[in-house]
Amino acid sequence: MTKTIQTAVVGVTGYAGAELARLLLRHPRLQSAPPVFAGRVDEKDAARGGIPLSEIHPQLADSNGSGNLKLEPFSWELLASRGVEVLFLATPHEQSREWAPEALARGLRVIDLSGAWRLVDAANRAVYAFEDDGSELAAATQAQAVYGLPELHRARIAGARLIANPGCYATSIILPLRPLVAAGLVDLARGIVADAKSGVSGAGKAPTARTHFMYAADNLSAYGAFTHRHTGELLEQIGIDASEIIFTPHLLPIPRGILATLYVHFHEPQTRDSIAEVYHDFFSVSPMVRLFDKALPQIQYSVRTNYADIGFQLAADGRRVVIVSCLDNLLKGASGQAVQNLNVMLGWPEAEGLE
């Protein structure tokens, strides 16, 4: 057992922040050092030392006193006084752009759940319209960022100081497509169609007209065709051009979960065994990926777990395949992946605290 690491979470009030708190509070390696929770606290609550976690997320109260931990006013001095070594940012993209460079300068290691540092190509980053893009500090910070998908970048994550946690849609599409594209099987000239559907929590906690109950219930809607901000992640991590994929996200009338259906053409006819071998070889050391050899994945199998489930059906001609990928957008698509990255970063078993 290695020494205890002190973590801190900024952004615990959101859906992903709540799941991150739950996982860290129950992580077997962190039992003697619960996370420091910091964020925006008004003067009234600051006067009583912060807001009890049980008031923000009553479900986190337990017999170990977790609910008595407090959300304290954020300051760099607070993190230093508590000996924080790893900082989780479950914050808006713009906030992470400001705080990640400062955290690195102060010697902290950062796991950022936002999209602030995911994209290497400036053309792909343009969708975020970051005001500091192109600055010397932003370029230096981006150069340190590692895309936090352990199944692809395990070795780099182990030595990283800044991990850019992937987007939820991106994770559900990159994992099933990267092995086939990397193996040279996919006929990219025929194009890939990625039809993905997510529960309402993927839009975040702040209510909008689109996530309002009267809009989302008994409904299924498409949005962000050709413009979704996760598209750049697909291009960079799968290794394809924008002309080679059509990605359309949809809003499901359920709280959480993603199901992605992918339509792919092969250069040459394949067999079920040949495709399965590619997947099994690629994910042979990836404990958080489950491969379905017979049935297709469903959201109900992966929701509230950190597993990414992948299955496929091959056409009779062997040239076309339908791949189905499922995961929980708040876990493998966000907080669970962040903890998985923590495990890899610190040399702990990758699935510890997640199974």
Show Cβ contacts of residue 34 under 8 Å, excluding neighbours closer than 6 positions: 24, 25, 66, 69
Catalytic residue among 5, 10, 36, 168: 168
Tokens of 133: 């893009």
Tokens of 227: 């413009």
CA–CA dist 288, 23 (Å, integer): 15
Please give the radius of gyration of the chain, using alpha carbons only, rounded to the nearest integer.
20
CA–CA dist 100, 105 (Å, integer): 9
Q: Is 326 a catalytic residue?
A: no
Residue whose tokens read 């006193």: 65
CA–CA dist 17, 330 (Å, integer): 9
Residues 197 and 220 sit within 8 Å (Cβ to Cβ): yes
Residues 100 and 89 sit within 8 Å (Cβ to Cβ): yes
CA–CA dist 341, 348 (Å, integer): 10
Tokens of 3: 């020494």
CA–CA dist 320, 314 (Å, integer): 6
**Coil, helix or strand at residue 337:** helix
- Per DSSP, 66 falls in state G
CA–CA distances in Å: residue 275 to residues 171, 306, 310, 344, 352? 20, 24, 12, 28, 29
Q: Write down the H helix ranges in 145-271.
A: 150-158, 168-182, 213-216, 231-238
Show Cβ contacts of residue 125 under 8 Å, excluding neighbours closer than 6 positions: 119, 133, 232
Residues 230 and 149 sit within 8 Å (Cβ to Cβ): no
Residues acting as catalytic residues: 168
